[in-house]
Structure formats: structure tokens, C-alpha cells
Amino acid sequence: MTTTLVPSGLRSFSFGGGVQSTAALVLAAQGLIDYQVFLFANVGDDSENPATMVYVDKVARPFAKAHGIELTTLERVMVRSKEIRTLYGELTREGSKSLKIPVRMSNGAPGTRSCTADYKIKVIGRELKRRGATKQAPATVGIGISVDEIARANNRRCEPHEVIDYPLLRLGLRRADCMRVIRDAGLPVPPKSSCWFCPFKRPETWHEMRRSEPEQFEKACQLEDLLNRRRDELGKDHVYLTRFGRSLRQAIPDGVDTLFDLDDGDGLCDSGWCMT
């Protein structure tokens, strides 16, 4: 006999701090979508885009509070040790062999990754279970995917006690519509959310970082250098933060204004849990 799942009534939105998530927050405040709990799975203050962290704290959180919406930040806490882990900290920890991020292999293809599962999906899933979600009575989790990114919608990527929902798709909203929703609410449009070292960044985004945030860019280069020194010790091929099969410093040359197309289609995590 097949068991019919009945949602528990617990509804939360996976908040990424970007355009789509912020538009969803505004729509919830306006009563246009039914979400009063927004969960921000923070991969680490040292890992998230610094501009995203500022936006969440200075814009999104006060807006949520003013409209009676819960916006809670979650961190990855190890079950036994209670240690708080960050993605950057895990990548750079002494003796670590971690390659949780989708580094590009020598042929440009992304390698396997577990960053989204470990720092987003499981963190939110654990919190929902703590709040009472079960496999028989799952929580509804809203994901901020807009119509122009519909290929990212994937119902399989969730915990057994969750049911995924795409409210922006139901409303037929594109990213540009989300920006309008945010502006109409009197809020500034947030920067694109992602880890500052994410290999899914578009080349133009890397170029802009080198131009406007040279210290952050150099830090990303140093991370790539560190990963490859460890690869050398293991006798393995180098990996890269871009698809060009070259070091970040070489792939994103300094002083070049227009190298890449912003819409080259190469810069999105396909899970829907990140970059929203």
C-alpha cells in the first residue's frame, strides 16, 4: 500500500541573500506567497560573498523583522564536537584534502562537489527536522528559482522530510521581475550571492572582482595555489577556479575591460540551493 505524504504545515524558504530570495521575502511580506520562515544557510562569514553578508544583515534582516517574518541564519555544526565549520576553513585547514567545491579539471569540466549538500541542503534539513518535519509529514521548502533559470529546478535534491516548492515559477517571475519587486518595495537590489571563490562564477564576474576587489581576487588565487600544492604532493593533476585550464591569474588578465559575455551560460550552480 502506498503511503500518501501530507505536508506538516511547516513552511520555510531557503534564503540565499540574492535577488530571487530577496524578491521572495518581499512577496511574503506582501502576502503574495505563504512563507513566514526564511532560513539562511551560511557557509561561513569567511566564505560567503562579503557584500551578501552586509546585505543580509543591513537590509534583509531589518525588512523581515519589520514585517513579522523570521529570518534565521544557520551554520554547519558538527554533531559530535559541536564545532562550527565553514567551507573556506575546511578547504584551507592544515592537512585537509577536501575538494568540496566544483573545481574545474584540466579539461574544463567541473569536478564532483559536496559543498551544496553539506552546507546548504543538510543544514536546512537538520533544522527542519528539529522543528518537527518527518518523512511522513514533510516540511515545504521554497527555492528561489525564476522562470529564466527553470532548468535549475530539480525536485530530487532535498532531504526525505522535505517537499520542494518553486513559488517564483508559479508566479511566472523572471530575474528582472524579481529586481522590480525589490525596487518597488524601496529596497536596493542585492549583489549576486555565492561563495567568493566559487568555480561556477562567470568569467566576467571574476574579471570584475579583479578590477574592483583586487585583495579578494588575490585571496582566491592563493586558495587555488594552495589546492594545487596539495595536488602536487598527491601526484595529481592541477585543478582550477575557471574552465580555462590555467591559473586564475592567467585566465583573468589584469587591465582588460571587455573579455567575456555575461550571459555565457556557464556560471550557475544547477542545484537551486545556491546563487538565489
- The confidence band for 101, taking pLDDT boundaries of 50, 70 and 90, is very high
Residue 197 CA to residue 215 CA, distance in Å, equals 13
Q: Which residue type, as a one-letter code, is found at position 31?
A: G
Weakest-pLDDT range from 19-28, 206-215, 251-260: 251-260
Residue 133 CA to residue 142 CA, distance in Å, equals 15
Residue ranges and CATH numbers for the domains of the chain are 11-195 (3.40.50.620)
Residue 90 CB coordination number (10 Å): 19
Written as nine digits, the cell of 184 is: 518597488
Residue pair 136/3 in contact (Cβ under 8 Å)? The answer is yes
Range 100-118 average pLDDT: 88
Nearest residue to 14 (alpha-carbon basis) of 111, 179, 125: 125
129-141 burial code (b ≥16 CB/10 A, e <16): beeebeeeebbbb
Residue 264 CA to residue 147 CA, distance in Å, equals 18
Q: What is the pLDDT of residue 8?
A: 59
Residue 162 CA to residue 176 CA, distance in Å, equals 29
Residue 241 CA to residue 189 CA, distance in Å, equals 27
Q: Which residue type, as a one-letter code, is found at position 124?
A: I
13-25 burial code (b ≥16 CB/10 A, e <16): bbbbbbbbbbbbb
Task: Pick 88 or 269 by higher pLDDT.
Answer: 88
Written as nine digits, the cell of 218 is: 588575490
Q: Which residue type, as a one-letter code, is found at position 273?
A: W
Task: Pick 110 or 206 by higher pLDDT.
Answer: 206
- The confidence band for 223, taking pLDDT boundaries of 50, 70 and 90, is very high
What length is written for the chain? 276
Average pLDDT score over the chain: 89
pLDDT 10s digits, 126-137: 999 999 999 999
- The confidence band for 275, taking pLDDT boundaries of 50, 70 and 90, is low
pLDDT 10s digits, 165-193: 999 999 999 999 999 999 999 999 999 89
Tell me: pLDDT of 6 over 70. Answer: no
Q: What is the pLDDT of residue 159?
A: 86
Query: What percent of the chain clears pLDDT 70, i.e. is strictly above it?
Result: 89
Q: What is the pLDDT of residue 158?
A: 77
